[in-house]
Every structure is written in structure tokens, then in C-alpha cells.
Amino acid sequence: MPISDSLEIDDVVQQIIALERDRLDTLIARKTEVNLQNTSYTTVDSSIESLQKTLDTLKLAGTFTSSLATSGDSSVISASAGTNAVQTVYQMEVVRLAQAAKITSASALGLSQGTYAVLQSSEEINLDGGSAVVDPNVKFSSGSAAIGFDADKTVVSGTFKINDTEIAVTGSDTIYTILSKINASAAGVTATFDAENDKVLLTSDATGTDQTITLSDDTSGLLDALKLTETNGNPPQDFTDGTTPGLNSNLVDTDLVSGSAKVVDGYFTINNITIEIDVDNDTLAEVLSRINTSQAGVSAFYDDVTDRVTISSKKTGEEITFENDTSNFLKNINVLDQSGDTNSATGKSTYAGTTAEVVVNGETLTRDGNTFSLGGTTFTLKTVGSANVAVEQDTAKARNAVKGFVDQFNNTMSVIDTQLKGSLKGNRMLQNLKRSIQRRIYTQIENTGGLSRLGEIGVKFIDTGLGIGSLQFVQSDFNAAMAANNLDVYKLFADDLDNDGTSDDGGFALLAEEYLENFTKSTSGIFA
């Protein structure tokens, strides 16, 4: 092939490659442009969704009809106003608080408090029974004489168990460090050193006859040296059993079952609810629990410091009536026929709570509890005293909601303007969207109230001389509209045009939301 022909072919190939490269560059540029546009649409969509969210609050009646209650002295009376609460000032004097009926045993029951199990050194652990003083701070590696142990007692590295919990012993340990290890373990005992008597004491963490302290598997020789075990000539173990508290003992094993009027198998009633007693199987704790879980409406507890039972009504103002005590239980816990009993019948006692008494604007009221409602406001009495409670319109909630819409509206318009100057420059759809949203701000709004435009409540456009500018919120105009008729302001945003009982077909917030739903991704709109 002639050289000239070869050159012509190369030239053609290069031209084709250049042409394809241009096409590829065009496609890449177009892809980049589309990606930028998609990002811009997403940005606009997100801002419109934020604008939609501000409309949610504007559709709620409570946003515009809420009231605020303010107490002049919240330590005396606190108050909370509900929606549509009567707006007024309550002059209040708390004369008496409501109190639950309550009765406490007139005298101590004589129940034991229970004791702990104790295992202690069977004799003094010092050398030759007192010729040397034990030093609990000397390391075991220093030898028995330095510590003060008997000469035939040697402690080496090893382990021992207390209640199956293993304790490690090393030459660098001392009596005190071992006691600390025991106390930090899960053995369930507290270890102490009695310096006056040179003895180690192990005390169970709980009371009761079922408490045990078991020592085993000593490879260190420490338990022998401390004379806690009967080994190498040590005396028998010095162990004292624990005892169960009277609260958790069967009634038959307590002082309640003694004397001529002792507790016996039977029953009693509290507020007509029957509680049965089995002295051989019931404990005081179980009986009190049975009372608390019954329908008697009372709470019962035992105070182990005063050794008395207290029974109180769960609700203020309600009575407690005891009767039909065939078991002698009520008599033995000393709650029958005591001070405050308003019932003169034999074997029946009634203890009354007190009702609350409060003077409101000169009128004396009584209530069963310390919390009650008047005119849509809930009051809580806290102590005797006086306070004024002012209930007035809560304009802050509505003001913040409307201002939040205005701020987000301006933000959304700014976002649209930014995109129209960028990748969506000249986009007709976006331009129409902006104009349409703006138009809905100043057009007349259909509703049944006395207002028809947002401008009447202080939501207005700023005139820049170059057309429509930003939206502004004139707070003084809004406050005046709310003071004149807050319900009309609500209807301007959400109204019930078809009178079906639901505000879902009138007002700016509802109409604006329906329009914006045509665009957002969340509702499969144009930006989806």
C-alpha cells in the first residue's frame, strides 16, 4: 500500500476517535448536569417537606385555644390549664389538705429483730494464749512468730473456701488483706478482727436460722492458724446460729401467739374485704402483703425500728373500717379501738381521713383529694396558705407556630432562588411553584371565621419595590388578632366547611398542605 494511502487511513481513524470522544464528553457533561439537577431537586424537596411540617402544628386547635395557668405561689398551689379553660383569676386559700386515713399500732408488738450467724476463732490466736500480741499487718512470709501465731501454725500460699467461695492466700498477704478479700467476695459474710480478744469473726450478711458459714479446702493453713477450724489441737468451732426476724417467722413462733387473746386461725375484714389467718403457716410479712394486694384499698407495712404496723388508705378522704376479727390479729397488732376511732360498736373500728377544704373567690369548697379541676384548670393543693392563680390565653404556642412557618417559608423561597441561579436555572416548573406558593399567602382564604387573609394576623410580604420579597411576621398584629378572637385565627388555618365535625376542608394550612403534596417525595409528587 502506498504511504500516502496509509496516512489517509490514519487521519480518518483519528477523526473518528475525536468525534466519538466529543460525543463521550457530551454524554459525561450531560450526566454531570443531570446529577446536579437531581441534587437540586432533592434539596428543594427537603425544604418543602420542612415547610409542610410547620403546617401540622397550625392545623391543631390546641395551638390556638390553649390556656396558661400561673400560680402566685406554687409551693401552696400548682395549676395546669387545659384547652379552652375558663380565663379568669382564682383567689384561693387552702384551709386544710386532704389526708389519707391512717392507724399505727398503739404499742410495740414485741417481735424479735433477728440475729446473724457468727463463726469466730475458738480461742485467742496469739502465741501461747496471750504471751504475744497478734499483728494483723505483718505479712505471712515473715513467719508465725513475727505475726504472733502459735509456733505450730504455719501459713503458706494456697487457697481456702468460705461457703464455696474461694479465697487466695499469698506470702505478701496479711490478716487484714485476707479479711478484705473475704468482704469483697461473694461468700455472704463479713470478716472482722477483734484486736481486744485477738479473734477473727465471720458474720453472715443476713439474719435467719437458715444462715450457714461453711469453711473448706484450706491448702494455706490460714484457717487453722486463725483457729476457725477444729484442727491441730484447736478447740471445737465457736459457731452461733442466726435467728429469723419476727416479721418473717410463722405467727405461731412469735409473741403474737401468746396470752389469753393470742392470734388464732380465723379471719378479719378491712373495708368489707376478708383476710384469712393461718398461724402455723403465715408470717406477719405474708399477712401484710395479702392486705396490700387485696381490694381493701389500704397499704400496710411493719416498721422494724418502732416495732409497729401502720395501715393507711390508698386514697385521701376515704375511711378504713376494721371488723369481724375472729383471729384476734387486729387486736394483737393494736389497731382496734385506738385514738381516732369514730365507731362505737364493739369489735369494729373506723378511722377517717380528711377532705381538702379550699376557699375559691370567697366560696368554700371541699374535695376528697388534693387535686381537682375547676373550669378546665386542674389545681393541686400542696400546703395550707393563700395564692392567686391566673388563667389566661397561651399565645406563645400559637405565636411560635406561626413564626416557625414564616421562617421556614422564607428559607424555602431562598432555597428555590439558589437552585434557579444554579443547575435549575430557568426551570419553569420551579418558577411556577415559587409563584404559586407566594400567591397562596396573600389570596383570600375560605373559612367560617371572621378573618380571610394571613395579612390580618401579621403575616405579610415585605415590599422591596422590585416585587414580592420575604415574608415577615408582625407580632403586634398577631397578638391583637388572638386577643380579639383566637378561634377565628384557628379557623384561618384549619376549618370545618362541610360541618361534619372535623376541621379538614378549609383554612390555609390544609389547602397549602394539599398543594405541596403534589411535589414532595414523601407523597409521590413531582420530586419523587
Cell numbers found for residue 528: 419523587
Checking DSSP bridges between strand 468-473 and strand 459-463, what pairing results, if any? antiparallel
Cell numbers found for residue 201: 469473726
CA 147 to chain centre: 54
Checking DSSP bridges between strand 377-381 and strand 77-81, what pairing results, if any? antiparallel
Residue 328: the pLDDT is 92
Residue 347: the pLDDT is 81
Q: Which of 409, 507, 442, 422 is nearest to 48 (CA)?
A: 409
What sign results for the dihedral spanned by CA atoms 220, 223, 227, 230?
negative
Cell numbers found for residue 281: 403457716
Farthest-apart Cα atoms in the chain, separation: 141
What sign results for the dihedral spanned by CA atoms 477, 482, 487, 491?
positive
Q: Which of the residues in the chain have pLDDT under 70? A: 1-15, 18-37, 127-132, 464-468, 503, 521-528
DSSP 118: E
Cell numbers found for residue 54: 410547620
Distances in whole angstroms, Cα of residue 472 to Cα of each of 413, 438, 478: 13, 13, 12
Residues of the chain with CATH 3.30.70: 102-111+248-351, 116-240
Distances in whole angstroms, Cα of residue 508 to Cα of each of 4, 247, 355, 390: 79, 69, 50, 32
Residue 402: the pLDDT is 95
Checking DSSP bridges between strand 165-169 and strand 459-463, what pairing results, if any? unpaired
Q: Give counts: helices (H), strands (E), the chain.
A: 11, 24
DSSP 506: B
Which fold, 102-111+248-351? Alpha-Beta Plaits (3.30.70)
Q: Which of 337, 334, 341, 338 is nearest to 107 (CA)?
A: 334
* Phi then psi dihedrals of residue 25, to 5 deg: -60, -40
Q: Which of 118, 39, 76 is nearest to 358 (CA)?
A: 76
Count the Cβ atoms, other than its own, within 10 Å of residue 269: 17
Answer whether 204's CB lies under 8 Å from 163's CB: no
Dihedral angle of Cα 436, 437, 442, 446, to the nearest 10 degrees: 90
Answer whether 513's CB lies under 8 Å from 52's CB: yes
Q: Which residues, including other chains, have CB under 8 Å from residue 206's CB and lie 6 or more apart?
A: 116, 188, 242
**How far apart, in whole angstroms, are the C-alpha atoms of residue 371 and residue 26?**
76
Cell numbers found for residue 207: 439474719
Distances in whole angstroms, Cα of residue 314 to Cα of each of 10, 99, 311, 449, 525: 102, 10, 9, 49, 57
Could you name the CATH architecture of 116-240? Answer: 2-Layer Sandwich (3.30)
Dihedral angle of Cα 395, 401, 404, 406, to the nearest 10 degrees: -80
**How far apart, in whole angstroms, are the C-alpha atoms of residue 158 and residue 173?**
11
Distances in whole angstroms, Cα of residue 120 to Cα of each of 197, 424, 470, 489: 11, 90, 87, 83
Q: Which of 25, 119, 63 is nearest to 493 (CA)?
A: 63
What sign results for the dihedral spanned by CA atoms 405, 407, 408, 410?
positive
**How far apart, in whole angstroms, are the C-alpha atoms of residue 86 and residue 13?**
90
Residue 525: the pLDDT is 53
Checking DSSP bridges between strand 468-473 and strand 349-351, what pairing results, if any? unpaired
Please report, as a single letter, which amino acid is at residue 510. L
User: Which residues sit opposite 283 in a β-bridge?
Assistant: 250
Distances in whole angstroms, Cα of residue 527 to Cα of each of 317, 400, 420, 492: 63, 29, 15, 29
DSSP string computed for 163-196: TTEEEEE-TT--HHHHHHHHHHSSSSEEEEEETT
